[in-house]
Structure 1
Amino acid sequence: MPISPNQGSTGGGTTVTITGTNLTGTSAVHFGAKLATAVTNVSPTQVTAVSPSGSGTVGVTVTTPGGTSNPISFFYVGAPFKSGLSSSSGSTAGGNTITISGTGLSTATSVAFGANSAVPTVVSDSLISVVVPAGAAAGPVGVSVTTAGGTNNGLSYTYIDVPTITAIAPDSGPTSGGTAVTITGTNLASTEQVAFDGAPAPFSVINATTVSAVTPPGAAGAVDVTVSNPAGTATDADAYTYVAGPGI
C-alpha cells in the first residue's frame, strides 16, 4: 500500500494519496497516533488524507469496516534553513547560476526571487543551485526556498541594470597615466571595474551616476573606456585619448 508523497512538513498540511485495496468505507487514517485532518474516500483503491503535525518517521494506517491496514512509513521533514547565497546580485535579465547553502534542502522544489520562481538542482542536503529568473525591475527582492518541510525566507537578492556611460572628463591625458577622471552615466553604484583600453584602473564609486577613476599608463591614441557591474559592461569607444609628451 504505497503513499505519495511519503514525506511532508512537521507542521502538517500535506495532502497525500494512499493506494491499496478494499478501501471503500474508510473511516479514519492515522499518522502514528494522530488522525489525519481530512480524509476523502476517492475509490475502492484510493484514499486522500491531509497529514497532521508530527515529527520523525511514523506509520500511516487506514481503517475501514473490515479493520485496520498494515502501516506504511511517512517521514516528517523540518522547514529548510538558508545560510547564504553564492552571489547576492545580478542582471535583471537573469540567467546566471547561483548556489544556496543551508540545511534541509534535499527536498527543495522551488526557489522564488520575489514574484518569479525557478526549479533548483539539489546538490546535497546543504546545497542547491538555481538559475536566477529574470527580474521585473532593478532592486532587491526576497529569496525563499520551498521544500517538503515548508518554505523559508530571509535572504535577499538584488537585480541590477547594465551600466551606461554618458560622459568622461577630462577626456585626455598623458601616456604616463595618473589622470583623475570623472565618469558619469547610469547604474554605476555597483561598479566592479573600470578599464582604459582593457587595463584596470583604480576607481571610487561616488553615487549611482558618478564614478571617479585614475588612468593607468597607456600608449598614445584614443582608447575604449569600460565600466562593469554584476549585470554587464558598458563601453565608450575611443572615449579617452592618451597624449604623448613632448620630445626635444
Structure 2
Amino acid sequence: MMFGNKPATSLTQVSPTQVTAVSPSGNGAVGVTVTTPGGTSNPVSFFYVGAPFKSSLSTSSGPLAGGNTITLNGTGLSTATSVSFGAATAVPTVISDSTISIVVPAGAAAGPVPVTVTTAGGANNGLSYTYVDAPTIGSLAPTSGPASGGTAVTITGTNLDTTDSVTFGGTPAPFSVINATTLSAVTPPGTAGAADVVVTNPAGSDTSVGAFTYVAAPGI
C-alpha cells in the first residue's frame, strides 16, 4: 500500500475485502493505492492534518469555578477534540478552522495554567490561562473623607491583584494594585453618609457595606 510515493509502515490483511495500514509521515492530500498480483488500484484521497496553531484566547483569566465560555483563535482547529487547562479538560465546539469555543472547566487552584489543544493532527500548547479567586475586603484606611472626593484610601484583603474595578457608593474610583492583599484607591465625589465599597475581579466581587463615610463640608 502506498500513500503518495511512500509505503505504509505496517500492512495487515483483514479479509479479501479489507486491509489495515499505518500511514507514513506526510502532508497535504495524497492518493492511496493498493498493489496485488492482479495490479494496482485507483488512488483514493487521503489528507494529512497538520498540528494546530493557537494565536490567542478571547479571555485570558476567569473564575476558579470555571463555567465561563471563551473562544480560542488559530489555525488547524477544525478537528479539535479536546482543550486542556492544566490538568482539567473540556470538549470544544468547533466554529471554523480558525475558531473554537470552550466552556472553561473548574481549576484546581488559582494561578496560571497552560492551554493545550488536541486535534487529529496532534497537540499544541503555548497559551496561558489564569484561574482567579474572588476578592475579599478586609479593611479600609481611612474610613471617611470629604464628599468632594479625592481621599487616598488603602484597601486590604485577599485576591486583590486581579482587581478590575473599585467603586464607592456605586461610582467607579481610580485605583492601583499594590499586591495581592493591598489596593490604593482615590475616592470619587459622593453624597454625605455611609457608602458601600465594592471590589471586583474576573471571578466576582466583594462588598463592604457602609465601609466609607462621606463627610459634608461645614456650612457657614
Q: Do the structures match in fold with TM over 0.5?
A: yes
Query: 1:214 corresponds to which letter in structure 2?
Result: V
Is 1:91 the equivalent of 2:63?
yes
Quote the offset at 1:106 in angstroms.
1.9
Quote the offset at 1:185 in angstroms.
0.4
| Partner residue of 1:169 out of 141, 148, 152 | 141
Judged with a 3 Å threshold, the aligned counterparts in structure 2 of structure 1 residues 243 and 56 are, in CA distance, closer, same or farther, namely same
Distance in 2, matches of 1:188 and 1:144, equals 28
| Partner residue of 1:73 out of 45, 50, 54 | 45
Q: Percent identity?
A: 77
Counting matched residue pairs gives 220
| Partner residue of 2:113 out of 132, 138, 141 | 141
Distance in 2, matches of 1:36 and 1:90, equals 46
Q: Secondary structure at the match of 1:93?
A: coil
Q: Secondary structure at the match of 2:161?
A: coil
Q: Secondary structure at the match of 2:20?
A: strand
Q: 1:148-200 deviations in whole A, cap 9, x for unaligned?
A: 22111111111111111111111111211111111000111111100011110
* Deviation beyond 6 Å, 4+ runs, structure 1: none
Q: How does 1:136-215 map to 2 (within 5 A)?
A: 136-215=108-187
Q: Secondary structure at the match of 1:217?
A: coil
Judged with a 3 Å threshold, the aligned counterparts in structure 2 of structure 1 residues 44 and 115 are, in CA distance, closer, same or farther, namely farther
| Partner residue of 2:92 out of 101, 113, 120 | 120
Quote the offset at 1:64 in angstroms.
5.2
Judged with a 3 Å threshold, the aligned counterparts in structure 2 of structure 1 residues 226 and 46 are, in CA distance, closer, same or farther, namely farther
- Root-mean-square deviation (CA, aligned residues, Å) is 1.8
Distance in 2, matches of 1:43 and 1:133, equals 44
Structure 2: unaligned runs, 5 residues or longer: none
Q: Secondary structure at the match of 1:78?
A: coil
Query: 2:211 corresponds to which letter in structure 1?
Result: A
Distance in 2, matches of 1:236 and 1:155, equals 36
Structure 1: unaligned runs, 5 residues or longer: 1-28
Distance in 1, matches of 2:204 and 2:14, equals 54
TM-score normalised according to structure 1 size: 0.82
